[in-house]
């Protein structure tokens, strides 16, 4: 089970989470606030299942707020994942939380916090990113070299939602974890209809691969509407398929479920 959960943890990391010539500099300008496909208050909830039938965990992606954080203007993003049900009670109680504070002008993270609880054990780490100096400073005292476009797990997922998704287009990204910086190759494939617990979506498939590792390849589907929501993520493991599936969409105080029709949203100023 530990190996399966660690594979589940790779899902946000591999997408889930740019070289000196990063994707936003490859002919793609940074979006204006009114053009972003998500709003403060958006909360996406996912189920994490193994081998098609065992629901092992739950994951949420949230835009928590916009304001001043750590003496800087920022946007507060959050990813939470935890085991649920019999997996949690009988096998293992695991929880992970990634918090990212992103500059609203450059859309680059300047502070990242990662908390992990494994049973009674808990680890916490904070990372300060200095893109001008090319250094990420960890609360443990370590430093990691980064590129001008390096993002953490959460900021990467939201950045991916702002990109033009033309079939055949390829990107490379630099993504930071608490241990190292990894390079991600992304290949935009074709459009398909994806059925999820939150409803049916037309979506663009993006294949993701971490360079230089044997980590499982990922397939990510982003809704083809103006919201560009991640609606499904699939990783093929030796022990079976791991599936992250959109279950609920909440925007502000309104919750959208199966009967809701897609609609674009803007940042609340």
Q: What pLDDT is stored for residue 108 in this prediction?
A: 95
Q: Indicate the Cα dihedral angle 74, 59, 36, 193, nearest 10°.
A: 170
Element (H, E) at 133: none
Instruction: Please tell me the distance from the alpha carbon of residue 36 to that of residue 29, in angstroms, as a whole number.
Output: 12
Closest Cα to residue 58, out of 258, 256, 245, 257?
Answer: 245
- Take residue 127 and report the two structure tokens written for it: 């990372």
Q: Name the band, by pLDDT with cuts 50, 70 and 90, for residue 31.
A: low
Q: State how far the Cα of 50 lies from the Cα of 44, in Å rounded to an integer.
A: 20
**Can you point out the beta strands (E) in the chain?**
42-50, 54-69, 72-83, 94-102, 109-118, 121-130, 135-138, 143-145, 151-152, 170-176, 181-196, 199-210, 218-223, 230-237, 240-251, 254-256
Would you give the DSSP letter of residue 215? P
pTM of the predicted model as reported, rounded to 2 decimal places:
0.81
All domains of the chain in start order, with CATH:
2-256 (2.40.360)
- Residue-wise pLDDT for 233-264, tens only, equals 998 877 678 899 999 999 874 344 443 333 33
Tell me: pLDDT of 213 over 90: no
What is the band of 66 on the pLDDT scale with cuts at 50, 70, 90? very high
Phi and psi dihedrals of 180, rounded to 5?
-165, 175
Is residue 58 a contact partner of residue 82, using CB atoms and an 8 Å limit? yes
The pLDDT assigned to 241 comes to: 84
């Amino acid at each position: 089970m530990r190996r399966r959960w660690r594979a589940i943890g790779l899902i946000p990391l591999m997408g889930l989470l740019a070289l000196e010539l990063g994707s936003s500099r490859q002919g793609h300008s940074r979006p204006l606030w009114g053009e972003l496909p998500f709003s403060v208050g958006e909360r996406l909830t996912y189920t994490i299942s193994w081998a098609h039938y065992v629901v092992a965990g739950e994951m949420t992606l949230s835009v928590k707020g916009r304001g001043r954080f750590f003496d800087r203007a920022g946007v507060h993003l959050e990813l939470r994942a935890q085991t649920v049900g019999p997996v949690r009670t009988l096998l293992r109680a695991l929880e992970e939380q990634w918090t990212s504070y992103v500059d609203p002008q450059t859309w680059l993270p300047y502070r990242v916090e990662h908390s992990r609880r494994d049973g009674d054990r808990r680890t916490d780490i904070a990372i300060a990113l200095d893109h001008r100096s090319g250094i990420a400073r960890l609360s443990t005292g370590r430093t990691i070299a980064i590129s001008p476009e390096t993002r953490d797990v959460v900021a990467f997922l939201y950045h991916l939602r702002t990109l033009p998704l033309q079939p055949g287009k390829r990107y490379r990204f630099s993504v930071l974890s608490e241990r190292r910086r990894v390079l991600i190759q992304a290949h935009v494939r074709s459009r398909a209809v994806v059925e999820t617990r939150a409803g049916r979506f037309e979506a663009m498939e993006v294949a993701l691969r971490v360079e230089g590792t044997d980590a499982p390849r990922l397939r990510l589907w982003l809704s083809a509407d103006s919201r560009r929501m991640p609606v499904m993520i699939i990783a093929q493991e030796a022990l079976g398929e791991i599936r992250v599936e959109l279950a609920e969409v909440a925007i502000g105080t309104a919750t959208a479920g199966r009967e809701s029709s897609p609609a674009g949203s803007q940042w609340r100023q």
